[in-house]
Amino acid sequence: MNTIKLIVLFAMVGASGCSTLVVSKAPKEENTSARALTPPADKALLYIYRTGSTLGGDIVGTLSVDGIKVGKTARSRYHYFLLEPGTHTITLESSYQYKPYELNISTDPGQTYFVLEHWKIPSGIELKQTDEIDGRKGIESSS
């Protein structure tokens, strides 16, 4: 009998600690065209993406660029932005870590940049700039 109570307790704790927020997807046509963007000559194009990894998969983060909240992150999703050339701060906040994670990225006009959001034990969600080959693969596998 105690074993059953313990299993029920773990199930309740697990269910309450892993709530899922649905992050909406763009229609397929918009998604396809967004993956093929090229930046204008006077702006930089930034993609921030998250793969379909199961590690930390249900955790939703709040994404900010230069202090402006721009959206929520989720497994197999990406965001893209046109930015002025220069240095920008990308911030990711999650209730599962003590402080927001920040990444500074320098951008040049007419260039495309990719940033991967990934879960790393024990520190939580991190941001990492990737090269174009890995970045394109990442946004292609995202929806």
pLDDT category at 46 given cuts 50, 70, 90 is very high
Phi, psi of 39 (to 5 degrees): -75, 150
SS3 content of the chain, % helix, strand, coil (to 5): 25, 40, 35
Quick: pLDDT tens for 51-108.
866 555 667 788 999 999 998 887 788 889 899 999 999 999 876 666 788 999 999 9
Quick: pLDDT tens for 110-124.
999 999 988 777 667
